[in-house]
Amino acid sequence: MATNGLTSDSFTSQVVPLSLNLEQATNLIVERARQLVNQLVEQRGHDKPPFLPGEFARLQGIKRIEKADLGETSAVLLRFHDGYVIKVNQNHHPFRQNFSCAHEIGHTLFSEPKLERYIQNIEYRTFNPQGEKEARATARERLCDAAAAELLMPESVFRKHSSALGASVHSVERLANIFRVSVQPAAIRIAEVSVEPCLALLWQPWPRNKPKGLRLAWCIGPGRHSRGKGCYIPLHTYVRPPSTLHKAYQDDRSVKSFKLFKVDNAVKRLPMESKGFGRDKTRYVISLAFPDR
């Protein structure tokens, strides 16, 4: 996709734009991740999921992936003179480990000299130098997540599978199992690539120590990297019991409801499906809302 004179083959061009916004940077890193996926698909001779980090590691000069007790850390990338080693938290669920490893592979894409040049030129709009440093670090982490999503759930392959299953809160868990990722990244991916426009929302008990209601943690819609027109934001981001969301939180059945969303200068009522996942302290609710239904 061409954006401001940047094309997908711009890795080979000598022109470095003066500045790059986050959307352009995301396109670049996702494009590079896609090349890696294509390389793997060609090598395997098929594009059947799952796409596992170990398969990409070989292509990216990563010597091995080691499981280790890393405490709170998900994974680390170690750089040696003859290649990289990824250490991943053995205490996390294997699906979460897959995403953590793919995120670290994302960091190795940054270090490729051709991509590095562009990434150095991302614009960070902040008012103090310390803030700029932090904004830069946060942006890098987000870009690595975008790369990880493309590596584990390649857009075209994921779209094919999600279309076959239909955009529904029941498909979230099935897609997560097919692509061997956690429920949350699978839900985000549905919102990003679904043929039918769809929003994914995550609700968590709040306040943490003595929950009184469910609070919106995030809402992802199509075109998430380009905020602005057509962006849906829930009107209410805190829900007190009793509610259909609490029903979804309390038992494992999915529930249907309607929710008000702000979009441009209007408020729209969208149909929504919700389901609870995880257990005890890590229990949460995922909702999918459908602007076109």
Q: Which residues bind Zn ion (CB under 5 A)?
A: 141, 144
The minimum distance between CB 195 and Zn ion, in angstroms, equals 31
- 178/130 Cα distance (integer angstroms): 42
The minimum distance between CB 142 and Zn ion, in angstroms, equals 9
Q: Which residues contact 100 (CB under 8 A, 6 or more apart)?
A: 74, 75, 88, 89, 92
- 5/118 Cα distance (integer angstroms): 13
DSSP assigned state of 164: H
Question: Please, where are the H alpha helices in 73-182?
Answer: 94-110, 113-119, 129-152, 155-165, 169-179
Q: Which phi and psi (to 5°) does residue 206 adopt?
A: -150, 140
If the CB atoms of residues 101 and 144 are measured against Zn ion, the closer one turns out to be: 144
If the CB atoms of residues 38 and 138 are measured against Zn ion, the closer one turns out to be: 138
For residue 188, the Cα-to-chain-centroid distance in whole angstroms is: 6
The minimum distance between CB 77 and Zn ion, in angstroms, equals 8
If the CB atoms of residues 141 and 264 are measured against Zn ion, the closer one turns out to be: 141
- 222/188 Cα distance (integer angstroms): 10
- 276/258 Cα distance (integer angstroms): 17
If the CB atoms of residues 40 and 144 are measured against Zn ion, the closer one turns out to be: 144
For residue 126, give both structure tokens: 């902040």
The minimum distance between CB 144 and Zn ion, in angstroms, equals 5
If the CB atoms of residues 88 and 201 are measured against Zn ion, the closer one turns out to be: 88
C-alpha dihedral sign at 238, 240, 243, 249: positive
If the CB atoms of residues 68 and 263 are measured against Zn ion, the closer one turns out to be: 68
The minimum distance between CB 203 and Zn ion, in angstroms, equals 26
The minimum distance between CB 104 and Zn ion, in angstroms, equals 7
If the CB atoms of residues 44 and 79 are measured against Zn ion, the closer one turns out to be: 79
Q: What one-character-per-residue DSSP string does 20-72 give?
A: B-HHHHHHHHHHHHHHHHHHHHHHHT--PSP--HHHHHHHTTEEEEEEE--TT
The minimum distance between CB 73 and Zn ion, in angstroms, equals 10
If the CB atoms of residues 144 and 248 are measured against Zn ion, the closer one turns out to be: 144
For residue 3, give both structure tokens: 């954006």
The minimum distance between CB 35 and Zn ion, in angstroms, equals 20
Q: Are 273 and 287 in contact (CB under 8 A)?
A: yes
